[in-house]
Amino acid sequence: MRTVKLPVHLAFIMDGNGRWATRRLRPRAFGHKAGVQNMFRICGHAFHLGVRIVTVFALSAENLSRPQEELDELFELFRTFFDKKKEKLLELGAKVHVIGDLAALPADVAACMRALEEETSHITERLLNICVNYGARQDVLQAVNRAVALGRFMDDTSFHGLLLTAGVPDPDLIIRTGNEMRLSNFLLYQAAYAELYFSSRMWPEFSRRDLEKALVDYSSRSRRFGGLRAKEQE
Ligand code: IPE
Ligand code: IPE
Ligand code: MG
Give residue 112 CA to ligand 2 midpoint distance, Å: 24
Provide the residue type at 116 as one letter: L
The response to whether residue 59 sits with its C-beta less than 6 Å from ligand 2 reads: yes
> Is residue 1 scored above 60 in pLDDT?
no
Helix 28-49 and helix 68-79, axial crossing angle in degrees, nearest 10? 40
CA–CA separation, 59 and 142 (whole Å): 19
**Mean pLDDT calculated for residue range 204-232:** 92
- Over residues 57-107, the pLDDT tens digits come to 999 999 999 999 999 999 999 999 999 999 999 999 999 999 999 999 999
Kindly state if the Cβ of 184 falls inside 6 Å of ligand 2: yes
Mean pLDDT across the chain, nearest whole number?
96
Pick the catalytic residue from 15, 17, 38, 139. Answer: 15
Given this model, what pLDDT does residue 234 score? 56
Portion of the chain with pLDDT greater than 90, in percent: 96
pLDDT grade, residue 14 (50/70/90)? Answer: very high
* Digit-coded pLDDT (tens) for 109-146: 999 999 999 999 999 999 999 999 999 999 999 999 99
Residue 187 has pLDDT above 80, yes or no: yes
Instruction: Encode pLDDT of 30-55 as tens digits.
Output: 999 999 999 999 999 999 999 999 99
pTM: 0.96
| Pairwise CA distance, residues 94 & 90, whole Å | 7
Q: What confidence score (pLDDT) does residue 4 get?
A: 85
Q: Is the pLDDT of residue 186 over 80?
A: yes
Give the Cα separation of 50 and 45 in Å (integer).
Answer: 9
Pairing of strands 173-176, 127-134: unpaired
Which of 13, 15, 78 for a ligand 1 pocket mutation test, highest count of atoms within 8 Å of Cβ?
15
Question: Is residue 134 in contact with ligand 2, taking CB distance under 6 Å?
Answer: no
CB 92 within 8 A of CB 43: yes
